[in-house]
Each structure stands twice: as structure tokens, then as C-alpha cells.
């Protein structure tokens, strides 16, 4: 029998990209256990995620991780104790999504447990809700990751309006591509972040993209080309390039672009509550400057810890239980949608 609403236990499953993640969540905020297996090392030598390799690795890891997440949660009988299975059903890589969804469906049938498909972006929005009891809509959510740069108006939980997104590359994608050009490996974000802290952001003049369009929109591909030209010219002329300075200059332009458009979204809506999530939200420079801006502008800012910014299954469980309690259901016909949108 299902327990009282606040005590429901949800198994979250996330396999949309290159992290196999599972979590058990009690209610909306009580994390019983959370495990992640990152595939970074396997993809690093290719400078980006190789979809075929990603799905094979999810397939290898998902059952051992399921055992780990149950063992470390303190629950005894998953069939009896788990009330809901929440699984990422899109957007993402189809082969990767299929591993999570098929596993969730098999468990749902074996345990006779309800299942719900969760949107990965809604998951990132819920990364903040999963760790903050006091956060309630309306708020502006900036989701900045390897696949997304979206500014979303969260009118209510489950009710979203896209205020703006990127015209081309996502912010994290630009980090990853620049890192690849400089031979810094994958993912580029953490290493560029580290090098940037030792460089001079004024050494190369990189433009802040679309800063004066008056619209909430981003473009990172021009910035990537400008940085690529600097790298190429230095190779041609033999003038040595200080990687730290390029990283600092690139990071400065990305942060300025994000801050300028977040500010515009806050002004346009008049909302004073802001959440940030997605892999790029773990960037140290962005976190520092956004905190400063929030203080100046008197915004209430919610920034989860870096491990909740990057892909994880706690956020999927949290979005899943909330959607379930709002009356949404999936069934065994659930199939992944690689380009699922929530607006």
C-alpha cells in the first residue's frame, strides 16, 4: 500500500547523456542515497561524448548501480518500499535514454510500482527544489549545461515558459569545444574554470555576444570562432599563447553574456527569485559574480552545490514525485523522446 504523500519513496534514474545516475528520495527533499558513474574518462580521448559508447556503458553500469543505491539507502525490500520509479525520458541521446527507460519499465513490471517519465530540463529546474524546502514559484530558472542554455519562467511547478535560449551552441558546449581546440580534454568546463582563475581576463578582447539586442537570447558559436582564431594565429606566427589568459578572456565573455541576459529576464518579469542549475552552474567565476549581482539587485538566489548542478538522479526523482503528485502518470508504453520540450 502507498504511504502518506510526504513519505513516498522515489527511485530516480538518469541516463540521458554520459552519467549513469540513480537515487532514492523520500518525499521531495530527503535524499536516502545517490550514486553516479561518470563516463568522462572513456569519452575524454575523443574530445566529446561518443553516443554509441555512452549507451554501452550505461548498459554495463546500471544494474550494479541499482544494487548500490538500494544497499546504501537503508531500505530492505525495494518492491515493497519504493513507491515510484522516475526516469529521464528526454531530451538526450536516444541510445542512452533507452537504457534508463527500458530498465525502469522492467523494474516497474517486476515490482508492480508506478513509473513516470521525467523531462531532463525539468529535472535541472528541480535540482534546486530537491535541496531547498523554502523554494516556491514563481521564479526564474537559468539552466546552463552542455546541451542547454535556457532561461525559464517557472510560473508554477509543471508550468513553464521559455523566455529565451541559445541560437546555436550551449554554453557548456562552447567550453568543451574550446578545450578540445586547446588540447585540454573533455569536459572543458572544469579545466577552463581552473586555468581561468590564474589568467588575465583582459588579455584578449572577446566580445560579449548579443549584449545589446534587448532580447533574452544567447549565441556562443561566434565566441568560439573568435577564440579559435586567436589559437590558430598564435600557431601560425609562433607567438606563444598563454592558455590561462585565453581561458580567462573566454570565461569573462561567457559570464558577462549569462549575467546580462539573466538580468534582462528578471527585469522583464519583475521576479526577484532566481535559480541556477546545469553543469556550467558549477563554474566558480559565474557563481561568484552571480552572487554579487544578486546582492546588488536584491534577488533571492538559489545555487545548488556543484554535484547537484551536473547531471544526477536526485533531481529526476524530485521532478518525478512532484509531477506524480500533480496527477501525471506514465505506463509501460513510455518511450524516450530525444527532443522533448516542456513549454
Contacts of 103 (CB under 8 A, 6+ apart): 13, 62, 63, 66, 87
Only segment of 5-13, 134-142, 198-206, 276-284 that touches ligand KG4 (CB under 6 A): 276-284
Residue (of 2, 70, 4, 1) closest to 35 by Cα position? 70
Angle at which helices 188-196 and 284-297 cross, to 10°: 70
The option from ligand KG4, Zn ion, none interacting with 217 (CB < 5 to 8 A, set by class) reads none
Which residues, in sequence order, are bridge partners of residue 30? 26
Residue (of 165, 139, 161, 176) closest to 280 by Cα position? 176
The option from Zn ion, ligand KG4, none interacting with 164 (CB < 5 to 8 A, set by class) reads none
Q: Which of residues 96-155 bind Zn ion (CB under 5 A)?
A: 145
The yes or no reply on residue 14 touching ligand KG4 (CB under 6 A) is no
Question: Binding string, 154-173, against ligand KG4, x = CB under 6 A?
Answer: ------------------x-
Question: Which stretches does DSSP call E strand in the chain?
Answer: 9-14, 19-26, 30-38, 84-90, 115-119, 139-144, 149-156, 159-164, 273-277, 300-302
The option from ligand KG4, Zn ion, none interacting with 123 (CB < 5 to 8 A, set by class) reads none
Give the shortest CB-125-to-ligand KG4 separation in angstroms.
Answer: 12
Residue (of 232, 252, 244) closest to 192 by Cα position? 244
The yes or no reply on residue 100 touching ligand KG4 (CB under 6 A) is no
Burial of 142 (0-12, 13-18, 19+ CB in 10 A): buried
For residues 55 and 283, which CB has a smaller minimum distance to ligand KG4 in the complex?
A: 283
Q: Which of residues 179-238 bind Zn ion (CB under 5 A)?
A: none
Which residue among 283, 318, 323, 330 contacts ligand KG4 (CB under 6 A)? 283
For residues 172 and 209, which CB has a smaller minimum distance to ligand KG4 in the complex?
A: 172
For residues 108 and 145, which CB has a smaller minimum distance to ligand KG4 in the complex?
A: 145
Residue (of 244, 263, 142) closest to 203 by Cα position? 244
Give the shortest CB-172-to-ligand KG4 separation in angstroms.
Answer: 3
Q: Which of residues 303-322 bind Zn ion (CB under 5 A)?
A: 311
3-class SS at 163? strand
The yes or no reply on residue 336 touching ligand KG4 (CB under 6 A) is no
Q: Which of residues 187-216 bind ligand KG4 (CB under 6 A)?
A: 187-190, 193
The yes or no reply on residue 19 touching Zn ion (CB under 5 A) is no
Burial of 79 (0-12, 13-18, 19+ CB in 10 A): exposed
The yes or no reply on residue 123 touching ligand KG4 (CB under 6 A) is no
For residues 99 and 107, which CB has a smaller minimum distance to ligand KG4 in the complex?
A: 99
Dihedral class, residue 92 (left if φ above 0, else alpha if ψ from -120 to 50, else beta): left
Dihedral class, residue 280 (left if φ above 0, else alpha if ψ from -120 to 50, else beta): alpha
Which residue among 22, 61, 280, 290 contacts ligand KG4 (CB under 6 A)? 280
Give the shortest CB-234-to-ligand KG4 separation in angstroms.
Answer: 23
Q: Which of residues 304-333 bind ligand KG4 (CB under 6 A)?
A: 310-311
Is the separation of the CB atoms in 221 and 169 below 8 Å?
yes
The yes or no reply on residue 257 touching Zn ion (CB under 5 A) is no
Q: How far is CA 56 from CA 42, 105, 116, 276, 325, in A?
A: 11, 18, 24, 31, 33
Give the shortest CB-105-to-ligand KG4 separation in angstroms.
Answer: 23
Give the shortest CB-94-to-Zn ion separation in angstroms.
Answer: 16
- Interface positions with ligand KG4 (CB under 6 A): 17, 145-147, 172, 175-176, 187-190, 193, 278-280, 282-283, 310-311
Provide the binding-site residues for Zn ion, judged by CB under 5 A: 145, 311
Amino acid at each position: 500500500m502507498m504511504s502518506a504523500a510526504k513519505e513516498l519513496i522515489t527511485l530516480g534514474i538518469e541516463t540521458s547523456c554520459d552519467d549513469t545516475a540513480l537515487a532514492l528520495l523520500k518525499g521531495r527533499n530527503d535524499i536516502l542515497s545517490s550514486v553516479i558513474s561518470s563516463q568522462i574518462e572513456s569519452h575524454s580521448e575523443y574530445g566529446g561524448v561518443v553516443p554509441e559508447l555512452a549507451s554501452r556503458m550505461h548498459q554495463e553500469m546500471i544494474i550494479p548501480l541499482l544494487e548500490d543505491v538500494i544497499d546504501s539507502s537503508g531500505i530492505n525490500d525495494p518492491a515493497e518500499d519504493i513507491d515510484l520509479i522516475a526516469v529521464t525520458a528526454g531530451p538526450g541521446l536516444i541510445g542512452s535514454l533507452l537504457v534508463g527507460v527500458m530498465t525502469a519499465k522492467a523494474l516497474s513490471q517486476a515490482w508492480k510500482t508506478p513509473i513516470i517519465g521525467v523531462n531532463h530540463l525539468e529535472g535541472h529546474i528541480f535540482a534546486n527544489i530537491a535541496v531547498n524546502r523554502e523554494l516556491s514559484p514563481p521564479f526564474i530558472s537559468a539552466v546552463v549545461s552542455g546541451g542547454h542554455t535556457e532561461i525559464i519562467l517557472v510560473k508554477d511547478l509543471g508550468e513553464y515558459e521559455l523566455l529565451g535560449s541559445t541560437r546555436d551552441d550551449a554554453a557548456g558546449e562552447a567550453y568543451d569545444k574550446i578545450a578540445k581546440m586547446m588540447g585540454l580534454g573533455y569536459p572543458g568546463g572544469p579545466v577552463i574554470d581552473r586555468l581561468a582563475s590564474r589568467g588575465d581576463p583582459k588579455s584578449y578582447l572577446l566580445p560579449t555576444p548579443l549584449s545589446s539586442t534587448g532580447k533574452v537570447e544567447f549565441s556562443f558559436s561566434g565566441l568560439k570562432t573568435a577564440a579559435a582564431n586567436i589559437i590558430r594565429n598564435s600557431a601560425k606566427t609562433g607567438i606563444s599563447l598563454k592558455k590561462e589568459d585565453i581561458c580567462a578572456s573566454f570565461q569573462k565573455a561567457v559570464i558577462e553574456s549569462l549575467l546580462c541576459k539573466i538580468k534582462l529576464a528578471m527585469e522583464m518579469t519583475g521576479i526577484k527569485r532566481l535559480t541556477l542549475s546545469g553543469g556550467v552552474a558549477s563554474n566558480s567565476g559565474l557563481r561568484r559574480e552571480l552572487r554579487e549581482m544578486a546582492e546588488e539587485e536584491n534577488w533571492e538566489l538559489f545555487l545548488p552545490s556543484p554535484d547537484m548542478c551536473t547531471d544526477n538522479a536526485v533531481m529526476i526523482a524530485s521532478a518525478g514525485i512532484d509531477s506524480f503528485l500533480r496527477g501525471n502518470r506514465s505506463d509501460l508504453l513510455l518511450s524516450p523522446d530525444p527532443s522533448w520540450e516542456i513549454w
